[in-house]
Amino acid sequence: MAPLTRYYCAASLDGYIAESDDSLDWLTGYEGSFEGADSDEKQAGYESFYKGIGALVMGSVTYEWVLAHVEQWPYPDMPVWVLSSRELPQPEGNEVPVRVVDAQVADLIDELLGAAADRDLWIVGGGNVASQFADSGLLDRLEITLVPVVLGSGKPLFGGPLRRPMQLLGARTFSSGMVGLSYEVRPAS
């Protein structure tokens, strides 16, 4: 089976992945609950997802946020590409250098999927990067965890309209009150 490109992220109910100032306090400080959940938080969550990932791609805002807010680089042995026209610092203690490139995703896709080998490519964020993959017909899956928070404004899930049909693959409720949705993004008709 060929590797998939997967946009895996959390979003507010109104479709934002970060506040206007790039803050994620709405997500990291969330303390909801749901006693009737059909999945608990550990069942096929992030760890299971990450085991299937062979390479990552993200935008410069996401990259700089991780460098500024996460104590230790979370992907030390994973090939990572950052889409940016600027020079950016390398994370400390990283085993595999982060590649900062000024390129279109259609020009990079073979290299990205080649690095992922028999695993998938994770589009970490943000919405503009995910839109570049979708606009190029290169987005296979949208996997979103909806957090029952309404932000009113912020950084949207996508940088523009997604003009490709989607097929729901699954939905799960979590004991936190969050809902996981998985969609296959189909070719434009």
Structural domains of the chain, with CATH: 5-18+27-172 (3.40.430.10)
Average pLDDT for 46-56:
91
More confident residue, 80 or 174: 80
CB-based contact 152:13 (threshold 8 Å):
no
More confident residue, 81 or 48: 81
Least confident of 52-66, 120-134, 164-178: 164-178
pLDDT confidence of residue 16: 97
Q: How far is CA 91 from the centre of its chain?
A: 19
Average pLDDT for 124-129:
94
Where is mean pLDDT largest: 23-37, 127-141, 168-182?
A: 127-141
| Cα-based angle 149, 151, 154 (whole degrees, multiple of 5) | 135
Distance between CA 112 and CA 122 in Å, rounded? 10
What's this model's pTM, rounded to 2 decimal places? 0.92
pLDDT confidence of residue 95: 83
Closest to 45 (Cα-Cα) out of 186, 184, 182: 182
Rounding to the nearest 10 degrees, give the CA dihedral for residues 75, 90, 62, 2. -50
pLDDT confidence of residue 152: 97
Mean pLDDT of the chain: 92
Distance between CA 19 and CA 42 in Å, rounded? 26
pLDDT confidence of residue 57: 98
pLDDT digits (tens, 9 = 90+) for 25-46: 999 899 888 887 776 555 557 8
pLDDT at 22 over 60: yes
